[in-house]
Each structure stands twice: as structure tokens, then as C-alpha cells.
């Protein structure tokens, strides 16, 4: 009896094999799922970090590239009196910001402005260097940054584009010193034509003055004097003829 009772008091039986297999399978599934989820979480984090809106600290660093500070600068009160020095197209090219020892000039509607103190905007490789060293009135009126539009001829601009160009000219006139005027081939031909017309008018005036002086000189000393004229009248008079007959 005692032996039989000891046999029944032994250790409890373990889990069945089928239950152990299920637990191992579930653990393996969790491990595999976690391992597969890690790359997905990493990719998702990368995408969200790239498309997230920029912070307030990042805005100032990109603002000068998108809208240069020169656009927002106030009007200046220390501008020097405008100059009228002539610049040809070739002379204006030398002030495009390539040579750091020379100033930077921008011409609008023939007016040449010194923009040297805004080298961060009009210098070589900067936002608006397209306008440096030339008259790009057409591009300014069209609000274009294309090289083919950066020309001085703005005669074909629409009314709205022409207003934009005039606004730019007014903007520059209040913020940059005027150092001269840009002269082009057509302007030079027109200027020479005006000079020739002026010379012709002066020549005509001189001829008129000289001819007037000659006329006055001839009238003051006529070829037939008043006395000789009286003698001629006496000769052809009836008294002279009667005296001749009596003789």
C-alpha cells in the first residue's frame, strides 16, 4: 500500500509536445515580424523627415536665395547727384562683376546705376548677375531671367510690362547712384545727325549774316551817285535839247 502511494506522489507531467510546438512557432513569428518591421520603420522615418516642413531656423538661410535682400531695401537719402557720363555697350560690359576691382553697373532704359554695394545680389554667380554690365530693360519689364530677354530694346513690351519696367527704373533711382547714360549705335547715329543739322543751321545763319552785310555795303556806296543822276536827267531833258538846237 505504501509503495503504491509513493508511485502516485511523483513529479507533475510536462506540457504536451503539441503545445510546445505552438509556443515556439508563435515566438518565431514575433521575431520574424519584428525583423521585417525594422526596415519598414526606417524607410518610413526617412520619408517623413524629408517631407517635413522646414523649421523656423531654416527659413532665413534660404530666404536670400529665393528673394534677395535688395528687393526689400528702403529708399536711400545719401545718393549723390546724377552723372551724365556716356557708356557704350562694350564699355558697360567691363562692369559686370567679373573684375572685383571694378564697380558693378546695371543699366535700365539707358540710365546706368552703380549697384556695387549689392555685390551679394548682382555679383558674379549671384541671383541677378544677368542684369550686370548691360541694359536688360526688356527682361526687367517681363520679369524674366532668360539670357535672350536681357536686351535694351523694350519697344515691343505690353502696357503692363512697360509699367513694370518703369517701376523698376523708379525703384533703382531711389536706391542706387546714377553714374551715366548708355549710348547705343542707333543713338550715336541719331546724335551725329543732330550735330550735322545744327552745323547746317549755323552755316545758313552765317551766310545770311554775311549777305546782309554785303547788301548794306552796296547800298551805302552805289555805283551812280545822286549828282551823276541829276546830270543824266539834265542831258535827257528838253532844256538841254533846246540849247543844243540854238547852237
241 in a structural domain: no
Residue 56 lies in a domain: no
Do 43 and 107 lie in one domain? The reply is no
pLDDT (tens digit per residue) in 41-85: 655 555 444 433 333 333 333 344 434 444 556 778 889 999 989
Look at residue 66 in the predicted model and tell me its pLDDT.
39
| Residue 144 burial (CB count, 10 A) | 15
Domain assignment present for residue 246? The answer is: no
Is residue 156 included in any domain, yes or no? yes
- Are 44 and 130 in a shared domain? no
Question: Residue 193 falls within a domain, yes or no?
Answer: yes
**Is 37 within the bounds of a domain?**
yes
* Residue count (the chain): 247
Q: Are residues 37 and 90 in the same domain?
A: no
Which pLDDT value is given to residue 232? 47
192 and 175 belong to one structural domain:
no
Distance CA(106)–CA(93), nearest Å, equals 10
Q: Are residues 172 and 213 in the same domain?
A: no
- Do 143 and 206 fall into the same domain? no
Domain membership of residue 64 (yes or no) is no
What pTM was computed for the model? 0.48
Report the CATH number that the domain containing residue 89 is assigned in CATH.
3.10.120.10
Residue 98 maps to a domain: yes
pLDDT value at residue 74: 76
Kindly state whether residues 40 and 110 are assigned to the same domain.
no
Q: At CA 124, angle to CA 87 and CA 93, rounded to 5?
A: 20
Q: CA 182, CA 112: separation in Å to the nearest integer?
A: 6
Please indicate, yes or no, whether residues 171 and 213 belong to a single structural domain of this protein. no
* Whether the Cβ atoms of residue 100 and residue 126 lie closer than 8 Å to each other: no
Q: Domain count for the chain, please give it.
A: 3
DSSP 49-64: HHHSPPPTTTHHHHHH
**Alpha-carbon gap, residue 67 to 17, rounded angstroms:** 74
Within the chain, which residues score under 50 in pLDDT?
1-6, 9, 47-70, 186, 190, 223-229, 232, 234-236, 240-241, 244-245
Same domain, 192 and 168: no
Q: Which of 161, 183, 205 is the last residue of a domain?
A: 183
Number of C-beta neighbours around residue 190 at 10 A: 12
Structural domain for 208, as ranges: 187-217
Query: Given 137, 160, 183, which residue is the final one in a domain?
Result: 183
Residue 53: what pLDDT? 39
Amino acid at each position: 500500500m505504501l509503495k503504491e502511494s509513493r508511485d502516485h506522489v511523483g513529479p507533475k507531467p510536462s506540457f504536451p509536445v503539441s503545445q510546445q510546438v505552438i509556443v515556439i512557432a508563435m515566438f518565431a513569428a514575433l521575431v520574424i515580424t519584428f525583423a521585417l518591421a525594422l526596415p519598414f520603420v526606417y524607410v518610413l522615418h526617412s520619408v517623413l523627415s524629408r517631407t517635413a516642413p522646414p523649421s523656423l531656423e531654416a527659413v532665413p538661410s534660404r530666404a536670400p536665395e529665393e528673394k534677395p535682400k535688395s528687393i526689400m531695401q528702403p529708399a536711400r537719402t545719401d545718393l549723390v547727384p546724377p552723372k551724365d557720363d556716356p557708356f557704350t555697350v562694350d564699355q558697360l560690359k567691363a562692369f559686370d562683376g567679373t573684375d572685383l576691382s571694378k564697380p558693378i553697373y546695371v543699366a535700365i532704359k539707358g540710365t546706368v546705376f552703380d549697384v556695387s554695394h549689392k555685390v551679394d545680389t548682382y555679383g558674379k554667380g549671384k541671383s541677378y548677375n544677368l542684369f550686370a554690365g548691360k541694359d536688360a530693360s526688356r527682361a526687367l519689364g517681363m520679369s524674366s531671367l532668360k539670357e535672350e530677354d536681357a536686351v535694351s530694346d523694350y519697344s515691343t513690351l505690353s502696357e503692363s510690362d512697360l509699367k513694370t519696367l518703369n517701376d523698376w527704373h523708379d525703384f533703382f533711382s531711389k536706391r542706387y547712384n546714377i553714374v551715366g547714360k548708355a549710348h547705343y549705335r542707333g543713338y550715336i547715329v541719331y546724335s551725329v545727325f543732330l550735330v550735322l543739322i545744327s552745323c547746317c543751321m549755323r552755316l545758313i545763319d552765317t551766310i545770311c549774316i554775311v549777305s546782309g552785310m554785303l547788301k548794306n555795303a552796296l547800298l551805302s556806296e552805289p555805283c551812280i551817285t545822286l549828282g551823276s543822276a541829276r546830270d543824266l536827267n539834265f542831258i535827257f531833258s528838253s532844256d538841254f535839247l533846246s540849247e543844243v538846237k540854238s547852237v
